[in-house]
Amino acid sequence: MEKEWTEKNARRHISPTSDIFVRYLLASPKNSDITKSFINAVLEDAGTAPVESVKITSPFNLRQTVHDKETIMDVKVQDSAGRSYDIEIQNITSAELMERLNYYGTHLYFDQIGESEQYDRLKHCIIICLLRAHIYGYGNRVVPNEKMHHVSHMVHYDDHETPFYPGGDPQIYHILELDRFENNAEALYDIDGSSRQRKLSCGLFAWLRFFSDGAREDFMEKYKETDVLVGKAKREYEKFLKNQQLRDAQFRHEMWLHDRAQDKADARK
């Protein structure tokens, strides 16, 4: 077993969805323009208005990451309207994912106010979860053209045209299933149970292509990528691979994940 990842072999182990890299990329204040671009790509694809600016409320801290293997890997953001965002990228999908997301979303919502504060201070929360492996149809194989961007919307059980919350859902969930993503900007995805299909928005397509294939050295040239912020994200990825402290942080986190998985397997025996 390797004792460390060198710059030469790190690319085989560290992908654009690796936990520490994602925190480094999306939770570093210097990269708030990247974070804003990704959020807006998700919102645009769902037909939602973009955010004007974002503030990272859970900034990346390498020292904390190195010493605390169990540090939370999600990214917390607030926009100029006061709405809160939680971005999470999961490389392994568990059957309990939906319960976990609901737990996180609920906490994100009620953590906005303290004791004796008024309810009118509460703002909507948006939870964005990018999955390497799908949760819808969990356990079944991926079928071409299946829906990959799922957006929650609560309605009355006996009237699916009327929102349950007149002012909009307190928490809105976006789930993106990367294993359903086709590296083709013209690919069509199902909308519902009918024959209706649609393409991904250009912005979301560019970001999902980066997260799925951005580890390749010739990524920008191969795809003739012109999105400035995707290009910046690619440069940050290359910097990450060259930085020994960052590589080691990802390596130690991966080893901890393997140890935890082994402990769980042993406990089931």
How much is the pLDDT for 31?
97
Residue 146 in contact with residue 137, Cβ under 8 Å?
yes
In a domain, 4, yes or no: no
Question: Amino acid identity, residue 69?
Answer: K
CA distance 32 to 58: 12
- Running along the chain, 269 residues long, what does each successive block of 10 average in pLDDT? 73 92 95 98 97 94 62 80 94 92 93 90 95 95 96 94 92 98 98 93 98 97 97 98 91 67 59
Q: 3-class DSSP state for residue 83?
A: coil
Long-range CB contacts (within 8 A, 24+) of 107-115: 108/76, 108/84, 108/171, 109/84, 109/170, 109/171, 112/84
Q: What is the pLDDT of residue 257?
A: 60
pLDDT computed for residue 176 by the predictor: 98
Residue 3 forms part of a structural domain? no
In a domain, 60, yes or no: yes
How many domains, in total, are found in the chain? 1
Residue 1 covered by a domain: no
Q: Is residue 2 part of a domain?
A: no
Rounded Cα distance between 39 and 77, Å, is 10
Which range marks the domain in which residue 128 is found? 10-268
Calpha distance 212→180 (Å, rounded):
11
Give the tokens for residue 216. 């390749």
Q: Which long-range contacts (CB under 8 A, 24 or more apart) does 258-264 make?
A: none
Give a yes or no: residue 81 inside a domain.
yes
Q: List the structure tokens of 4.
A: 């460390």
Segment holding 194, helix H or strand E: none
Nearest to 240 by CA among 204, 214, 207, 201: 214
Residue 229, pLDDT score: 98
Backbone dihedral angles phi then psi of residue 150, each to the nearest 5 degrees: -105, 130
Secondary structure letter of residue 14 according to DSSP: -
Helix, strand and coil percent figures for the chain, each rounded to 5? 40, 15, 45
Q: Would you say residue 68 lies in a domain? A: yes
Read off the pTM: 0.91
Q: Is 5 a member of any domain?
A: no
State both tokens at 208.
């999902």
Residue 20: which H helix or E strand, with range? helix 19-26
